[in-house]
Amino acid sequence: MSTKLGQERGARLRAAMEQAGLDLMVVTGNAWRSDYLRYVLDVTPMEGQAVAFVTANDAWLMVETPAEAERIAAEQPGLNVAWHADLLARVRKALDAARPERTGLAPAHSTPALLACSAAGAGMRASTALLDDLMVRKTAAEADRVEEAVRLADEGYEIFRAAARVGRKEFELVGELEAWLRTQGCPENFMIMGSGGKEVRTMRPPGERRLAAGDLVTTELTPCLDGYYAQICRTLVLGDPTREQLDAYQVYLDALEAGIAAVKPGNTHGDVARAQNDVFRRHGLGEYVTSKYTRVRGHGMGLYVDGPHVLEDVDLVLEPDMTLVVHPNTYHPVAGYIVLGDTVRVTAGGCKVLTRTPRELRSAPAVSA
Amino acid sequence: MRRGLMSWSREELPASVLDERVARLRAGMERDGLAAVLVYTSFAEPAAVHWLSNFTPYWSEAMLLVLPAEAPILLASLTPRVHGWIREVSHLGEVVSAPRLAQGALEMLAGKGVRSGSRIGVVGLDSLPAAVAGPLMKGWGTASVVDAGPLFTALRQPCGKEELALANRALAIGLAAVAGVPGDVRNTSELAAAIEASARAAGAEEVLHRVAPDLSRAGALRRLEGEFPLGPTYALELSVAYKGHWVRLGGSHARGARPAGWDAVEAWVGESLSRLAETGADGLAAMPARQSRWSLESCVGVQPLTLARTHEQEFVHLPPGSLAVFSAHAALDGGGHWYHSAPLVLGGGGLRGQVLGG
């Protein structure tokens, strides 16, 4: 991350802390939820728990192992990093010594129980909301980072498409893409996929199934660059698409267009979801956008899945430089599971579609690997 | 998330092995007076649930409920659409959708007739996420929810022959990937790409890299984010998962002439590994280096590897027969740094362990 972006995030955090009357912000994370730590100290834990301490003019980090301490200290010269095998007990002691009304603790969801039970734990929801607000309402520099990650998503999808060949096992296909992503300096990629016909009702991690002629091959590809993620969702056919597949796919094209048209300042996540779902309902497919199938019509993109999902009952108001993926992914009773999604950036007048990969139902040759 | 092959091979890990592990946990529950045990899992803390059921969530989180007299029940935050996949890769009784894990657990406990207020255990209670721990303790009563971590640790090691075979397979995948790195590799991106192409094609569930790009300058192993040029000597550490079984392997690599000090420290690590496999970690000789440190890690809780011992202090006692990883770092007398890491089975108490060979 650039020094300038780090300073910008630090300044926003400290201004928010001052406004909230906080002298100390304690932020926890691990390899599963590293986004809050990433925001406050640009740290990504690989193993174990990590806890950041941020004050008006200082910051330090505590981790569980010497390997993690040495790694992070090397990656972040100037950051004070200490390790303790009994990390949580040590942090709990520090929290007990702090003034709870002036101490923030976050995130409320994943902070370890021993810390959440401290007096500072009572304010976890407010502290988490403070950080969520900073992370969802991005600066232009942060949205620029998401744009850079979209380039990787677009290029990565072409690698995926080229690697999709009859006879190949799903995990071999994903392995080829992951190796390519490493050549691009990309450390992380969230990815699930599906392959087959009407019997496929979702995506999941790659398995040992071999791709077959006529398969719909779906993927949700989410590379990370400088901590910021971008997502692309696409479906391809191994061989020529059938009339039924093309007709089914048109609904998703229309839904994506409708969803993106609803992305503008002042509209809500609910508006974006409704615009997509209305297309399905007009085609008599309303059942397939309920929780019985897939109801999430997108989500924020940033240091993680930002903020609440794109659902009809979510009233998060869109603002310029928010970034999100719009994806009407769900099961179609004629064609099977279809995915299609673009990452977009909210602008003053509407939105900029960042994803450049063509949206049409593309095919890959049905030839053996 | 996990990016590679996640599956369950019944040949490599028979259901009977998982049943026997659950039976050992139940015996401990009875000794400790626990009516049930809950075990949380996410991909940051997947190890305990995987050991009991072969399940690891690729995303989101879940809890395993172990009761005295029925197959373990998985409460999953994951969408019900992937329950079929969960059943493919896991050995479980019921799989229940539980977007709110604590509430799901409380309802399941009540539904299974567990008496309200009876003692239940949670493996890794201190690190249990607040969103789960809070409602669970409020709903069941804080005093009745106890840490089952020590109970679990006491039965987790020594490892069985199936676990050892799977660890050997993970090691073989890692060693083959390292052996396939081109001799003219220039930077960390090329290095990581070569490793991943090999390991993932061989069925690795996950590969995590840490690299010290230039040992003549620094020995710290860094996460690969962005690209770093490789110096004349570099260190590579791989953490490889194969079907949920993790090993760590690492070494120092010279792209030209080997530094003079390497022979002595390599001899030391060879002797140390032999000693660890024969008698355990007590009394290891000092490393012939200006500065050095070593560590032993093992799977004893919710994380794939937990720090058990360093050259200075023991944190968790590992019994003979434990599957562990020995790692050593040195700043050499003649300048430069050196690193090595290898999995082994600890010996001691008349039991002879082994250094894993892949």
Strand partners, A325: A299, A343
Chain B closest CA to A340's CA: distance in Å? 18
- Note whether B131 and B165 are same-domain residues: no
Looking at residues A182-211, what average pLDDT do you find? 95
Going by C-alpha positions, the residue among A218, A222, A186, A192 that lies closest to residue A300 is A222
Neighboring chain A residues of B129 at a CB cutoff of 8 Å: 109-113
B1 band by pLDDT with thresholds 50, 70 and 90: low
For residue A147, count CB atoms less than 10 angstroms from its CB and return exposed for 0-12, middle for 13-18, buried for 19 or more.
Answer: middle
pLDDT at A3 over 90: no
- Note whether B52 and B147 are same-domain residues: yes
- Note whether B89 and B140 are same-domain residues: yes
A190 band by pLDDT with thresholds 50, 70 and 90: very high
User: Residue B129: which of A44, A109, A121 has the nearest Cβ?
Assistant: A109
Sole residue written with tokens 């721990």: B133
**3-class SS string, chain A:** CCHHHHHHHHHHHHHHHHHHCCCEEEEEECCCCCHHHHHHHCCCCCCCCEEEEECCCCEEEEECCHHHHHHHHHHCCCCEEEECCCHHHHHHHHHHHCCHHHEEEECCCCCEHHHHCCHHHHHHHHHHHHHHHHHHCCCHHHHHHHHHHHHHHHHHHHHHHHHCCECCEHHHHHHHHHHHHHHCCCCEEEEEEEEECCCCCCCECCCCCECCCCCEEEEEEEEEECCEECCEEEEEEECCCCHHHHHHHHHHHHHHHHHHHCCCCCCEHHHHHHHHHHHHHHCCCHHHHCCCCCCCCEEEECCCEEEEECCCCCCCECCCCCEEEECCCEEECCCEEECCEEEEEEECCEEEECCCCCCCCEEECCCEC
- Residue B23, H or E segment: helix B15-32
Best A32, A152, A208, A229 residue to mutate vs chain B (most B CBs within 10 Å): A32
Q: Does B102 touch chain A (CB under 8 A)?
A: no
Chain A closest CA to B332's CA: distance in Å? 17
Minimum CA–CA partner of A32 in chain B: B44
Neighboring chain B residues of A206 at a CB cutoff of 8 Å: 4-5
> Which residues, numbered 120 to 149 in chain B, qualify as contacts with chain A under a Cβ-Cβ cut-off of 8 Å?
125-134, 137
Q: What is the pTM of this model?
A: 0.96
Per the domain annotation, does B81 fall within a domain? yes
- Note whether B262 and B169 are same-domain residues: yes
List C-alpha distances in Å: B218 to A76, B71, B167: 14, 51, 30
Per the domain annotation, does B9 fall within a domain? no
A12 band by pLDDT with thresholds 50, 70 and 90: very high
A368 band by pLDDT with thresholds 50, 70 and 90: confident
Looking at residues B113-130, what average pLDDT do you find? 96
Per the domain annotation, does B6 fall within a domain? no
List C-alpha distances in Å: A275 to A130, A270, A311: 30, 9, 11
For residue B43, the model assigns a pLDDT of 87
For residue A341, the model assigns a pLDDT of 98
Here the tokens at position B41 are: 């899992």
Residue A326 identity (one-letter amino acid):
V
For residue B120, the model assigns a pLDDT of 98
CB–CB contact A171 B310 (8 Å): no
pLDDT at A2 over 90: no
> Which residues, numbered 148 to 187 in chain B, qualify as contacts with chain A under a Cβ-Cβ cut-off of 8 Å?
none
Chain B closest CA to A120's CA: distance in Å? 13
- Note whether B229 and B107 are same-domain residues: no
B357 band by pLDDT with thresholds 50, 70 and 90: confident
A182 band by pLDDT with thresholds 50, 70 and 90: very high
CATH number of the domain residue B124 falls in: 3.40.350.10
Going by C-alpha positions, the residue among B243, B206, B205, B237 that lies closest to residue B221 is B237
CB–CB contact A179 B196 (8 Å): yes
Q: Does B11 touch chain A (CB under 8 A)?
A: no
Best A47, A165, A177, A201 residue to mutate vs chain B (most B CBs within 10 Å): A47
Sole residue written with tokens 């969803």: A259
Alpha carbon distance B216, B338 (integer Å): 9
CATH number of the domain residue B270 falls in: 3.90.230.10
CA angle, A357 as apex, B3 and A267 as ends, to 5°? 95
Looking at residues A231-252, what average pLDDT do you find? 97
Minimum CA–CA partner of A206 in chain B: B5
Q: Is B121 helix (H, G, I), strand (E, B) or coil?
A: strand
For residue A139, the model assigns a pLDDT of 97
Best A63, A170, A204, A229 residue to mutate vs chain B (most B CBs within 10 Å): A204
CB–CB contact B210 A294 (8 Å): no
- Note whether B61 and B80 are same-domain residues: yes
Looking at residues B16-24, what average pLDDT do you find? 98
Going by C-alpha positions, the residue among A310, A308, A317, A275 that lies closest to residue A295 is A310
Here the tokens at position B356 are: 């894993």
- Residue A355 in contact with residue A154, Cβ under 8 Å? yes
Neighboring chain B residues of A184 at a CB cutoff of 8 Å: 189
- Note whether B347 and B248 are same-domain residues: yes
- Note whether B90 and B173 are same-domain residues: no
Q: Does B328 touch chain A (CB under 8 A)?
A: no
Looking at residues B53-70, what average pLDDT do you find? 95
Minimum CA–CA partner of B81 in chain A: A202
Going by C-alpha positions, the residue among B191, B333, B51, B232 that lies closest to residue A183 is B191
Best A42, A110, A160, A182 residue to mutate vs chain B (most B CBs within 10 Å): A182
Strand partners, A59: A54
Alpha carbon distance B36, B49 (integer Å): 14
Q: What is the pLDDT of residues B183-229, one digit of tens each?
A: 999 999 999 999 999 999 999 999 999 999 999 999 999 999 989 99
CB–CB contact B227 A185 (8 Å): yes
Q: How many CB atoms lie within 10 A of CB A19?
A: 9
User: Last residue of a domain, which of B108, B137, B156?
Assistant: B156
Per the domain annotation, does B52 fall within a domain? yes
A366 band by pLDDT with thresholds 50, 70 and 90: confident
How many percent of chain B have pLDDT more than 90?
93
Minimum CA–CA partner of A202 in chain B: B81
Best B3, B137, B186, B300 residue to mutate vs chain A (most A CBs within 10 Å): B3
Q: Does B200 touch chain A (CB under 8 A)?
A: yes
Minimum CA–CA partner of B227 in chain A: A185
Neighboring chain B residues of A75 at a CB cutoff of 8 Å: 222-223, 225
Q: What is the pLDDT of residues B127-185, one digit of tens each?
A: 999 999 999 999 999 999 999 999 999 999 999 999 999 999 999 999 999 999 999 99
Minimum CA–CA partner of B303 in chain A: A48
Mean pLDDT of chain B: 96
Q: Does B100 touch chain A (CB under 8 A)?
A: no
Neighboring chain B residues of A48 at a CB cutoff of 8 Å: 303
Q: Specify whether the backbone of B24 is left (phi greater than 0), alpha (psi in -120 to 50) or beta.
A: alpha
- Tell me what ipTM this predicted complex has: 0.96
Looking at residues A283-294, what average pLDDT do you find? 95
Q: What is the pLDDT of residues A293-330, one digit of tens each?
A: 999 999 999 999 988 999 999 999 999 999 999 999 99
A60 band by pLDDT with thresholds 50, 70 and 90: very high
User: Residue B221: which of A44, A67, A208 has the nearest Cβ?
Assistant: A67
User: Last residue of a domain, which of B98, B128, B156?
Assistant: B156
- Note whether B119 and B61 are same-domain residues: yes
Total tally of structural domains belonging to chain B = 2
Residues 6+ apart with CB under 8 A from A284: none
CB–CB contact A71 B220 (8 Å): yes
Per the domain annotation, does B37 fall within a domain? yes
Per the domain annotation, does B3 fall within a domain? no
Neighboring chain A residues of B236 at a CB cutoff of 8 Å: none
Looking at residues A4-31, what average pLDDT do you find? 97
* Residue B195 belongs to domain spanning: 161-355
Going by C-alpha positions, the residue among B12, B78, B44 that lies closest to residue B302 is B44
User: Last residue of a domain, which of B107, B133, B156?
Assistant: B156
Alpha carbon distance A4, A21 (integer Å): 26
A365 band by pLDDT with thresholds 50, 70 and 90: confident
Q: Does B252 touch chain A (CB under 8 A)?
A: no
- Note whether B167 and B116 are same-domain residues: no
For residue B3, the model assigns a pLDDT of 80
Q: What is the pLDDT of residues A77-133, one digit of tens each?
A: 999 999 999 999 999 999 999 999 999 999 999 999 999 999 999 999 999 999 999
Per the domain annotation, does B48 fall within a domain? yes
Chain A closest CA to B197's CA: distance in Å? 5
- Note whether B142 and B215 are same-domain residues: no
Per the domain annotation, does B350 fall within a domain? yes
- Note whether B26 and B62 are same-domain residues: yes
Here the tokens at position A49 are: 């728990």
Neighboring chain A residues of B43 at a CB cutoff of 8 Å: 31-32
For residue B358, the model assigns a pLDDT of 54
